[in-house]
């Protein structure tokens, strides 16, 4: 059995598929009595064997399901994916305040590790936005919250399974917008990228470093929630320029499931038909659905312009939501200064923006290849220095054909078990061991070097990473992801 990382393989002695918290508790008691390790597994999102064991594998997908949706909360099973949560809450006009960029990971998994999303600069991690939990502790089911067994509540959120197995959660909900504006902001360097993320008022913020012929280029993505439904419902897809046909890495932020959404997982050990390097690069040159980047040297469009729309539609697209930010920050619907491209789309299309990328990567074989990821929390004051040093020491081959570099300034929230420095920045090297690129061993060595740089300046690991010999206590519960 493998996880999404595809680097580590383990065969469990037994697989248990519990359908209730009581069955989880019984499995935990039996494993303890026989001396076997027990590891929960949801979507298998871990990247270095955290969801794998030679003991008892708990298949948590039997605990999937949204049991209740209220005006400000949802009660769900730990094996429920965030896609399933959103499918249940959006008809009520509600959404979790923080969504992972990739929706096909489970609630139990991300709450066990922390759970970072594009709105974490406003709301903190997903673990900071859970109201109550059902947990199996010492072989018995218990409920906990900030006021009921608060010591358990604090220990299991981002606790990596060391203090209990999450079986259910009551999630905070906020009003969902009807539509969003996704704004691309080119940045000069890492320091400028972090400045934009700290200064721009937006409901979703993220950053990327992308390899190019001239070195690394940087861009921020700022997404504004708009509250009224426009006359048109079609996603705006700006026309591509000649420069945009150059092969580049698509924005596949936080990819992390074992199969494309809506498809059955391939049998263990099965490799998808591989695509050639040219096919993969060409496929990922088309990032128009994520918001195109202007041609090098070209003047940015006028402030507030939405490429591909006429003047009247531009006014609607940028100003219709003025002063009506839904569930986020007051930004008056204003496109941030320095924006080069704006795309208007429904909130659901934005939340599920990685679906076409995953389908494409699956066809090309990239989704089935190893993904040895490096992920660290850096102190804000030293983040630019570490990121620049790391990128200077690597090339696009160190990422793979579909790899992604993410830079995200965020808040952790009230989650005592999630170790992170002050003013944290999550720096992620989401590597894919593509043919003709760096091999797994070289990528893992790069992850060790990244962690050493981070720890030297007071940084910490984000425990969904791939670092040999540095497995964290209780990390097995990350398999719920």
Query: Can you give the residue ranges of every domain in the chain?
Result: 14-59, 61-175, 179-192+219-244+251-262+274-354, 369-469
| SS3 annotation, the chain | CECCCCCCECCCCEEECCCCHHHHHHHHHHHHHHCCCEEEECCCCCCCCCCCCCCEEEEHHHHCCEEEECCCEEEEECCCEHHHHHHHHHHHCEECCCCCCCCCCEHHHHHHHCCCCCCHHHHCCHHHHEEEEEEEECCEEEEECCCCCHHHHHHHCCCCCCCCEEEEEEEECEECCCEEEEEEEEECCHHHHHHHHHHCCCCEEEEEEEEECCEEEEEEEEEEEECCCCCCCCCCCCCCCHHHHCCCCCCCCCCCCCCCCCCCCCCCCCCCCCCCHHHHHHHCCCCHHHCCCCCCCCCCCCCCCCCCCCHHHHHHHHHCCCCCCCCCCCCCCCCCCCCCEEEEEEHHHHHCCCHHHHHHHHHHCHHHCCCCCEEEEEEHHHHHHHHHHHHHCCCHHHCCCCCEEEEEECCCCCCCCCCCCCCEEEEEEECCCCCCCCCHHHHHHHHHHHHHHHHHCCCEECCCCCCCCCCCCCHHHHHHC
Residue 193 has pLDDT above 50, yes or no: yes
Residue 104: predicted pLDDT: 96
Residue 201 or 315, more confident: 201
Taking each helix axis as running N to C, give the angle between helix 190-199 and helix 380-392, from 0 to 180 degrees, rounded to the nearest 10. Answer: 140
Residue 358 has pLDDT above 50, yes or no: yes
Question: Length of the chain in residues, anyone?
Answer: 481
Q: What is the mean pLDDT of residues 327-335?
A: 63
What CA–CA distance (Å, rounded) separates 211 from 475?
32
269: confidence class by pLDDT, cuts 50, 70, 90 = very low
Residue 26 has pLDDT above 60, yes or no: yes
Spell out the CATH class of 369-469: alpha beta
Residue 474 or 288, more confident: 474
For 61-175, CATH gives 3.30.465.10
pLDDT digits (tens, 9 = 90+) for 359-370: 999 999 999 999
Residue 407: predicted pLDDT: 99
Residue 264 or 17, more confident: 17
Residue 277 or 44, more confident: 44
Q: What is the mean pLDDT of residues 206-226?
A: 96
Residue 77: predicted pLDDT: 98
Encode 46-76: b = buried (16+ Cβ within 10 Å), e = exposed. bbbbbbbbebbbbbbbbbbebeebeeebbbb
In CATH terms, the fold of domain 14-59 is 3.30.43
pLDDT digits (tens, 9 = 90+) for 108-141: 999 999 999 999 999 999 999 999 999 999 999 9
Residue 162: predicted pLDDT: 85
Percent residues over pLDDT 90 in the chain: 69
Q: What is the mean pLDDT of residues 415-440?
A: 97
What CA–CA distance (Å, rounded) separates 234 from 250?
22
pLDDT digits (tens, 9 = 90+) for 78-89: 999 999 999 999
Neighbours of 271 (CB within 10 A): 10
Residue 457 has pLDDT above 70, yes or no: yes
Return the closest-CA partner of residue 114 out of 124, 122, 104.
124
Residue 333 has pLDDT above 90, yes or no: no
Residue 118: predicted pLDDT: 98
Residue 302: predicted pLDDT: 36
Residue 322 or 404, more confident: 404
Residue 35: predicted pLDDT: 95
Q: CB neighbours of 265 closer than 8 A, spacing ≥ 6?
A: 258, 259
pTM for the full model? Answer: 0.81
Residue 294 or 64, more confident: 64
- What radius of gyration do the chain's Cα atoms show? 21
pLDDT digits (tens, 9 = 90+) for 270-287: 333 444 554 554 444 333
Q: What is the mean pLDDT of residues 388-397?
A: 95
Neighbours of 14 (CB within 10 A): 15
Q: What is the mean pLDDT of residues 31-43?
A: 93
Distances (CA, A) of 159 to 4, 114, 166, 450: 21, 8, 10, 23
**Angle at the Cα of 310 (from 304 to 316), degrees rounded to 5?**
55
Residue 347 or 308, more confident: 347
Residue 262: predicted pLDDT: 34
Residue 470: predicted pLDDT: 56
Q: CB neighbours of 243 closer than 8 A, spacing ≥ 6?
A: 294, 295, 296, 298
Q: CB neighbours of 35 closer than 8 A, spacing ≥ 6?
A: none
Residue 378 has pLDDT above 60, yes or no: yes
Of 2-6, 383-387, 447-451, the one with minimum mean pLDDT is: 2-6
Residue 330: predicted pLDDT: 57
Q: What is the mean pLDDT of residues 416-428?
A: 97
What CA–CA distance (Å, rounded) separates 342 from 335?
8
Residue 34 has pLDDT above 90, yes or no: yes
Distances (CA, A) of 359 to 2, 86, 160, 198, 363: 20, 20, 30, 33, 6
Q: What is the mean pLDDT of the chain?
A: 81
Neighbours of 91 (CB within 10 A): 9
């Amino acid at each position: 059995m493998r996880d999404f990382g595809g680097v580590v393989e383990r065969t469990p002695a037994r697989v248990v598929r519990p359908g209730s918290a009581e069955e989880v508790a019984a499995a935990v008691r039996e494993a303890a009595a026989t001396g076997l390790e027990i590891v929960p597994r949801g979507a298998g999102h871990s990247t270095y064997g955290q969801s794998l064991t030679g003991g008892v594998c708990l298949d948590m997908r039997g605990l999937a399901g949204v049991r209740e949706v209220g005006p400000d909360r949802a009660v769900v099973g730990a094996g429920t994916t965030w896609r399933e949560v959103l499918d249940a809450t959006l008809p009520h006009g509600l959404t979790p305040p923080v969504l992972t960029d990739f929706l096909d990971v489970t609630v139990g998994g991300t709450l066990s590790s922390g759970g970072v999303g594009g709105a974490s600069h406003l709301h903190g991690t997903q673990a900071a936005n859970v109201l109550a939990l059902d947990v199996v502790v010492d072989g018995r089911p218990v409920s906990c919250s900030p006021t009921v067994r608060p010591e358990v509540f604090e220990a299991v959120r981002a606790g990596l399974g060391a203090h209990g197995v999450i079986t259910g959660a009551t999630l905070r909900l906020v009003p969902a917008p009807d539509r969003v504006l996704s704004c691309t902001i080119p940045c000069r360097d890492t320091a400028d990228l972090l400045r934009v993320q700290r200064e721009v008022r937006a409901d979703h913020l993220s950053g990327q470093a992308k390899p190019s012929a001239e070195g690394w280029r940087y861009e921020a993505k700022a997404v504004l929630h708009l509250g009224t439904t426009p006359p048109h419902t079609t996603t705006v897809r700006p026309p591509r320029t000649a420069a945009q046909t150059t092969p580049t890495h698509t924005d596949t932020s936080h990819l992390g499931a074992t199969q494309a959404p809506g498809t059955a997982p391939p049998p263990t050990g099965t490799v998808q038909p591989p695509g050639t390097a040219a096919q993969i690069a060409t496929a990922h040159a088309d990032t128009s659905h994520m918001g195109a980047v202007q041609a090098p040297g070209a003047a940015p469009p006028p402030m507030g312009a939405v490429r591909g729309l006429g003047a009247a539609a531009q006014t609607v697209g940028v100003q219709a939501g003025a002063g009506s930010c839904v569930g986020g920050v007051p930004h008056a619907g204003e496109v941030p200064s320095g924006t080069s491209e704006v795309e208007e789309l429904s909130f659901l299309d934005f939340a599920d923006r990685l679906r076409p990328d995953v389908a494409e990567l699956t066809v090309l074989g990239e989704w089935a290849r190893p993904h040895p990821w490096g992920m660290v929390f850096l102190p804000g004051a030293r983040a630019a220095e570490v990121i620049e040093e790391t990128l200077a020491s690597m090339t696009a081959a160190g990422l793979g054909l579909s790899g992604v570099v993410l830079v995200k300034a965020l808040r952790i929230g009230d989650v005592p078990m999630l170790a992170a420095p002050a003013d944290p920045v999550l720096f992620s090297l989401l590597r894919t061991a593509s043919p003709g690129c760096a091999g797994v061993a070289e990528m893992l060595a790069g992850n060790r070097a990244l962690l050493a740089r981070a720890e030297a300046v007071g940084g910490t690991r984000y425990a969904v990473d791939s670092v040999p010999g540095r497995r964290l206590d209780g990390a097995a519960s990350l398999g719920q992801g």
